Structure 1
């Protein structure tokens, strides 16, 4: 195989892997009977990761339009899973936090995600899975213009 084809292969592997991972997660969430959609589950996981955050931060992290996130947040708020408060630094913005009643649902979503990750890393040793995680973190940081060394993240994968 020529060198140019090898370089393009990485892009296909990353893209296909992300697509397959997302599809597996969506199937697990849809089949788990959690009372939320896979997109709402991803929204909750992103809020959990970001902690007290703005709606725009959630949209940016998820790579979707703010209005789409707003629709997810409307449903999650109606279910009592999140709260939205005015942002003291920007009166046009809203800050989003999880409610305490969301904790069991986050655990259930993470259980489903853990199953998907376990499937995705089948055949890898823990060192290989950690290396894959670190390399993907480095790739993402490169795209985001970060050049500092990555912090140790023992919780990967």
Structure 2
């Protein structure tokens, strides 16, 4: 085994593809004339998929800091695209919902996403694409389990258990 890293190793390829896909998505959103930044667009789509979730949970699922999310939420709320409602189970927490005004923008973002993915997956058959999708979901689940294990270990260390 060589001591030199292989830039075509699976982990490096996944990181490269994720970075390039995010960059391509951000360019499309920026040029689509939707009136949202790429971060706001990602946030709006995530809220729509997690309708009624807590701010903290949305930030965690997006992999961003809660304060970064809060900035996006402030802007989306000022545009009338989302609303924050008190969480009946925890009065300190807020639940986030899209408003009817967000529907057209979500459709626009989704159109850009689908068009981009059509380009990105060009030359890959439907069966192959379904396999890739399934395997990536498995990788995501495995990584999620690792994160949960790491969080449990950290909590155990902090509480002395």
TM-score, with length taken from structure 2: 0.85
List alignment gaps of at least 5 residues for structure 1: 147-157
Secondary structure at the residue paired with 1:84? strand
Q: How far, CA to CA, are the matches of 2:30 and 2:7 in structure 1?
A: 35
Give 1:6 deviation, angstroms: 6.7
Give 1:29 deviation, angstroms: 0.2
Q: 1:155 maps to what in 2? A: none
Q: 1:126 maps to what in 2? A: 126
List alignment gaps of at least 5 residues for structure 2: 147-161
Give 1:7 deviation, angstroms: 10
- Count of residue pairs the alignment pairs up: 145
- After superposition, the Cα gap between the structure-2 partners of 1:8 and 1:145, relative to the gap in structure 1 and judged at 3 Å, is farther
Q: 1:54 maps to what in 2? A: 54
Secondary structure at the residue paired with 1:35? coil
Q: How far, CA to CA, are the matches of 1:127 and 1:24 in structure 2?
A: 25
| 2:7 and 2:13 in contact (8 A); partners too | no
Secondary structure at the residue paired with 2:43? helix
TM-score, with length taken from structure 1: 0.87
Structure (1 or 2) with the larger CA radius of gyration: 2
Q: How far, CA to CA, are the matches of 2:51 and 2:131 in structure 1?
A: 26
Secondary structure at the residue paired with 1:145? helix
CA RMSD in angstroms, aligned pairs only: 1.9
Secondary structure at the residue paired with 2:9? helix
